[in-house]
Structure formats: structure tokens, C-alpha cells
Structure 1
Amino acid sequence: MFRRNKPSSSENRRDFATHGAALPLPANDMRNFFNLSQLVLSAGQLKPPPVLRHSKITFLEVEILDAHSKKQICVVDKIPPSSTLLDVKYRFHKICPQWSPSRIGLRLERNGVYLKDSVNIKSLAASSIITLYFTDMGQQVSWTTVFLTEYTGPLLIYLLFYLRLSSIYDEKQTARSLRHPVVHLACICHCLHYIRCLLETLFVHKISEGHTPLKNMIKGCIFYWGFTSWIAYYVNHPQYTPPSFENKQVTLAVLVFLMCEAGNHFINVALVHQNQPGNKISFPIPSINPFTWLFLLVSCPNYTYEIGSWISFTVMTQTVPAGIFAILMTIQMSQWARKKHQLYLKRCTTHKWRKAAMIPFML
């Protein structure tokens, strides 16, 4: 009688696999499978779906009120946060064409400071609505036009007096009198000064693209043109008398004048290079050029040289109008120099040892 052998475990697995039945797993295999499944479930999806983020831009509204009556003029809406105040002025001009952007003055408060065109509108926003006060600045002109007009006038006016037109001086006195050499030198120095100013305005200075009221240009023209007429009238008069020490006084004054004009030019060129984009230096420093060494003593040597030019011109011509003009220019430029000096002190603490703003060891 044959006895059938008990099938092995490997044969059982093949039979169950062939008939499609599930095989019972040992306890260790079940535990491992459970742990693996828990690990997969806790890890989440292998590649999560991308999250779509919708950037929502919040637009701003600018309410513009009249600074005097507090009445609403208009509302400029749908302004992107990246806009500047100049963009708001152009939008305001489209709504109210009678006011050009150059004559629009905007302030946060009725009696506050006028905001610059480069101010970002978002920096002014405490909410989605910004209230600004409008003031009509009047007819405006560019700074380039102001400087060219102020400097061209004295150049032409002085030449008219130098020609001794019959409508200005008596013809008989003009025919009898001979001109002293200082009269010719004074004309050359005066023209040289204003030609330098004109050329630097066109090719050296980086003048702001802003505007100034027309009345300010008129005031400047009255000052420069008026004093030029007064000075030129006396220096070119047929009865003009030369300086007391004559040639020695004139020669020394001319040399100082030329040195100050050269120094003023080199300082202006140095300041332009100093203010180039990317330059992190916040205060002027001297260079190899000896004319720039005055930076070691004062903060604004360009004003120092300017005053030196007019003082030497006064000594050269020995006239009262030139002296008064030099005094007034000294007062005005000392105020400008002090403001710039304080600005340098705020920017850099190492600048404090420079005690003077315009005149070494004094002012």
C-alpha cells in the first residue's frame, strides 16, 4: 500500500499561486507589511499638487483737497502702490487740465512741506485712501532755464556798457577819455566768469529735473542783471579812475581771480564725480588736483572760490558796486554753505572735525 507524502510548504505556495488564492503570511511578515503601510500613509503623497497663488494687488485712492478751502477737487483712483507722486500729478492733470504737473504742489497737511515727485505713494498710505492738499504753484520754469537766463544776462549787459553806447554815456566824454588797461581786464574777467558758469550749466552740473516758480527766476535776474549794470556803468565810465596802487594792485587781483575761477571749476567737476551713482562716499574728499585740497579745511570750497573771485574783482576795479555785490554774495553763500555743512555732519560722523563750512577756521 502506497502512502502519500505530505506536500512541502514550497509546493503549497506554488499550488495556491496557481489557483489564485491568497497565501497566509507569517506573523513577522504581517508586522513588516503593517509598518511599511503606516510609513507610506504618514509620508503623504510623493509629489503634492502645485498650489496656485493668486497675487491680489490693492489699488490706492488719492483724495485731493484745496489747501485753502478744504473742498474736494477730485479723487484719483486705481493707483498702483508702486506709483510715485509724479504719476499722481499726471493723473491729476488729466482730470483737471488747467493745472500742469509742474505747477501742482501736494502736501499731507495744509501747512506742511511740499512732497517731492520721487516719493513713493505707498509710503504715504495709512489706509487705502490718501488725502493730499493741493496748492497752485503758479507758472513754473526748469532749473536749467533759470541758470542760463541768470548767467546770459550779465554777460551781454556788461558788453553793452563796455562798448560805451551813445545812449548810455556822453559821446564827447567818450571821445576825449582813454581807457585804462584795467577796464579791458575787468571786461575779460567778468565775461570769463559767466562763460564758465554757462558752460558748466550745460556740460558739468547735473541739474535737477524739477521746476521753480517763475517769480523766483525774475528775482534772480533782477539781482544779477541789476548789479551787473551798476558795476559795468562805473567801470566803463569815461571818468573812471584806476585803482590806487595801479599795476601792482591790478596784477595781483587778476592772478587771484584766475586762480579762484580755476579752483571753482575743478571743485564743481569733483562734486559731479563724487555724486555719481554707486559712490557710497557721503562727503567730498580731495584728489591729486591741488585745487581740491581745500576740502581738507572747508565743506564747500566752491563757495570759497566764488567769494574769492568777487573780492579780487572788487580789488581789481576798486569800485563800490562791486564791493557791495561781493558782500551780498558772501552773506547768501554762507547760508548755503552752512546748510550743506550740517547735511555732511548728519551723513558721516568722521566729517565733524572739519569745523568750517566756507571760510577756513572762521565760517
Structure 2
Amino acid sequence: MFRRHKPSTPEHKRNPAVQGSALPVAQNDMRSFFSLSQLVLSAGHLRPPPILRHSKITYFEVEILDAQSKKQICVVDKIPPSSTLLDVKHKFHKVCPQWYPSRIGLRLERNGSYLKDSVNIKSLAASSIITLYFTDMGQQVSWTTVFLTEYTGPLLIYLLFYLRLSSIYDAKESARSIRHPIVHLACIFHCLHYLRHLLETLFVHKISEGHTPLKNMIKGCTFYWGFTSWIAYYINHPQYTPPSFGNRQVTFAALTFLVCEAGNHFINVALVHQNQSGNKASFPGPSINPFTWLFTLVSCPNYTYEIGSWVSFTLMTQTLPVGVFALLMAIQMALWARKKHQLYLKRGISSRWRKAAMIPFVL
């Protein structure tokens, strides 16, 4: 007998699960393609991404007038808000080459104070046009040049008198006289004083990059060089006589001079370190260095030590020119110290309890 075989069934018919899952996937793909096509057709032309526009920068115009005649000299335009007054001076120099930046003095008012180079131009602007008044400051020199010139002169001038040149003193009288040891000691101490000033100018002090009129340097050199000539002429004269109290007076004055010179140096170093720290709300105070303990009594101990050096030099040499020079220096430094002391109090720095500016309990 023949057996009846069952007809072969396709795989998809034999597996209902496969059949049920394949058809929905195909339908979903068709619907997704149709939706994407409709979206592209309805979107139109593709647009590029929007460009970010930067904010418009406002430039300033600086009108520069002559301080005396009020006539317009020039107009410096296209000044960015971040510019300083020094940038304005450089552009002014390009327009008027006869005035270089250090010679240009600018003020907001005709009789006002001169503006600093570091002032931001935006802080001066009440509108887009800024009016400044110009004054020719004259020939200018840097502060470093001023100090080096003022201190180098006395050093060399004193040595010329110490050598007793025949053009200054009588040769026969100089040959007959015997120099007292105080003459040699005074030369050493005088040179030491100005060498300290020169070295501190070069390696300690952070001198401002500003300038000062040449006439001010001439005045300073005339003062220092003139007094040095007067002082050196008397001390190195063949007829010079030693101090009245002899070696005791010389020894005491010499020790005081050395102490004041050392104190002046350490105070200057302390002030420089304070300025480098950038903390203007505080003031240098006494440290383990005993030379800085004078900060507890005065606000400007560097001036105190400077006057102490010249007073002790006066006692050591016992000469009138040194005494006059010490008196004039004391008056000038008292004015400077008083001004700085008031500035410290105005800033609210913790020096209110200090009794004096330069001389303890007195001034």
C-alpha cells in the first residue's frame, strides 16, 4: 500500500512567529521613509546656521587743546575703551612729532592736576568725545638718570678735594701740613654714603618709569654738588683742625653714622618688599631685624636714619658747611615725611597709633 505523504510547508507558514514579525517591520520602514520624504519636501531650501554678530565697540575721540590759548591742536580718533593715557600720548606724538610722550602733559581742566599715564581713557569719558588740555613739559629725563647723576657728582667732587689738587689748594701749604686721621675717615664715610645711594638706586629701589623736567635735575645737582664742594673744601683744607673733644667725639659720631647708614639700608629694603607684595592696605612693621624697630615710633624711619647720618657726620667733622647741609636736609625730609604720614592716615593704614612722622615724639 502506498503511504500518503504530507505536502511540504514553507518555513514562514510553519513558523507563525516569524510571519507575524516580518510584516510589521516592513510596514514601519515604509511609513518612516514616507514621513522623512514629506518632511524634506515641506522644509524648503536648507538655511545656513545663523552667524553670531559681535557687539559693536564704541571708540572715543580725544580733542587736545592748548592749555593757554584754548586752541585745538589735534583730534586723536579711534581710541579703544581699553586704552590708557599713554596710548593717547603715543598717537598724539605721531600727529605732532615735535612732542614726544614724556614731554606731553595732559589735564582734564586747564588748571587741574596732570593725569597719570596709567589712567584708563574710559574713566575720563563723559561722552564719546573727551577734551584734554595740553602743556609742554619741556625736556624730560628719567628718574634713574636723575638719581645716578645727583649721587655720582658728590662722590667724584669730594675725591677731587681730597687729593688736594694744586688748582684748589696752595701746593706748598698742602705739602707742609699733616692730615689728621679724621680727614681720611670723613672721606671714607662720605664716599660710603653716596655709594650706598648709588647701589640702592641700581639694585634695591623700584624707581618709577616716569620722567621729570631737566630743570629739576639741574636744581638737584646744583644743590648736592654745590654743598659737596663747600663741605669737601673745608674738611680737606690744609688748615683744618680736628673736633674739640678729640677721639671720643669722633668715635661716638662715627659709630652713630654707621648705625644710621645700616638702618637706612634695611628700611629701604623693607619698603621695597612691601611694595612688591602689592598689599597697600598694610604698612611695614618691626621684624626680628633691630634696625626696623623704629617703625614702632615713626612712619618714615628712612628719613630719620638719613638725618641721623648727617648729624653724626657734622659732629664727627665739626664743620659749619656740614651743619648747614644737615639742617636743610632735615627741613626738606620733614616736609616729605609729614606728607607721607598724612597719606598713610588717609588710606586708613594701621599706623594711626604712631606718634610722629620722622622724629619720635616730636615731628
Instruction: Report the residue type matching 1:260 in the other structure.
Output: C
User: Matches of residues 205-224 of structure 1 in structure 2 within 5 Å?
Assistant: 205-224=205-224
The answer as to whether partners of 2:298 and 2:358 remain within 8 angstroms in 1 is yes
Give the match's secondary structure for 2:133. strand
Cross-structure match for 1:303: 303
- Measure the CA separation in 2 of the matches of 1:280 and 1:352: 15
Instruction: Report the residue type matching 2:292 in the other structure.
Output: T
Cross-structure match for 2:146: 146
- Measure the CA separation in 2 of the matches of 1:154 and 1:321: 14
Give the match's secondary structure for 1:275. helix
Instruction: Report the residue type matching 2:333 in the other structure.
Output: M
Structure 1 residue 278, shift from structure 2 partner = 3.8
- Measure the CA separation in 2 of the matches of 1:95 and 1:116: 21
Give the root-mean-square deviation of aligned CA atoms: 1.5
Q: Which runs of 4+ in 1 moved over 2 A?
A: 49-54, 277-282
Structure 1 residue 351, shift from structure 2 partner = 1.8
**How many corresponding residue pairs?**
317
Cross-structure match for 1:10: none
- Measure the CA separation in 2 of the matches of 1:329 and 1:65: 40
User: Matches of residues 12-91 of structure 1 in structure 2 within 5 Å?
Assistant: 52-91=52-91
Deviations 1:158-204 (A, max 9, x none): 00000000000001110110000000000000000000000000000
User: TM-score when scaled to structure 1?
Assistant: 0.85
- Measure the CA separation in 2 of the matches of 1:339 and 1:177: 48
Structure 1 residue 257, shift from structure 2 partner = 0.2
The answer as to whether partners of 1:283 and 1:348 remain within 8 angstroms in 2 is no
Structure 1 residue 53, shift from structure 2 partner = 4.8
Asked if 1:249 is matched to 2:249, the reply is yes
The answer as to whether partners of 1:143 and 1:207 remain within 8 angstroms in 2 is yes
The percent identity for this pair of structures is 85
The answer as to whether partners of 2:286 and 2:293 remain within 8 angstroms in 1 is yes
Which stretch shows the higher mean deviation, 179-188 or 271-280?
Answer: 271-280
| Structure 2 runs not aligned, ≥5 long | 1-23, 28-48
Instruction: Report the residue type matching 1:103 in the other structure.
Output: R
Cross-structure match for 1:6: none
Cross-structure match for 2:9: none
- Measure the CA separation in 1 of the matches of 2:136 and 2:280: 37
Structure 1 residue 51, shift from structure 2 partner = 8.8
Cross-structure match for 2:271: 271
Instruction: Report the residue type matching 1:109 in the other structure.
Output: E
Structure 1 residue 220, shift from structure 2 partner = 0.1
The answer as to whether partners of 1:274 and 1:281 remain within 8 angstroms in 2 is no
Cross-structure match for 2:329: 329
User: Matches of residues 219-238 of structure 1 in structure 2 within 5 Å?
Assistant: 219-238=219-238
Check 1:235–1:216 CA distance in 2 against 1; reply closer, same or farther (3 A cut): same
Structure 1 residue 226, shift from structure 2 partner = 0.2
Asked if 1:319 is matched to 2:319, the reply is yes
Cross-structure match for 1:24: none
Structure 1 residue 288, shift from structure 2 partner = 1.1
The answer as to whether partners of 1:231 and 1:322 remain within 8 angstroms in 2 is yes
Cross-structure match for 1:105: 105
Cross-structure match for 2:155: 155
| Structure 1 runs not aligned, ≥5 long | 1-16, 21-48
Structure 1 residue 346, shift from structure 2 partner = 1.5
- Measure the CA separation in 2 of the matches of 1:281 and 1:301: 19
- Measure the CA separation in 1 of the matches of 2:337 and 2:171: 46
- Measure the CA separation in 2 of the matches of 1:313 and 1:151: 17
Cross-structure match for 2:177: 177
- Measure the CA separation in 1 of the matches of 2:349 and 2:243: 47
- Measure the CA separation in 1 of the matches of 2:278 and 2:318: 47
- Measure the CA separation in 1 of the matches of 2:360 and 2:316: 23
Deviations 1:83-129 (A, max 9, x none): 00000000000000000101000000011000000000000000000
Give the match's secondary structure for 2:166. coil
- Measure the CA separation in 2 of the matches of 1:359 and 1:74: 51
Structure 1 residue 352, shift from structure 2 partner = 1.2
The answer as to whether partners of 1:284 and 1:295 remain within 8 angstroms in 2 is yes
The answer as to whether partners of 1:338 and 1:357 remain within 8 angstroms in 2 is yes
The answer as to whether partners of 2:281 and 2:349 remain within 8 angstroms in 1 is no
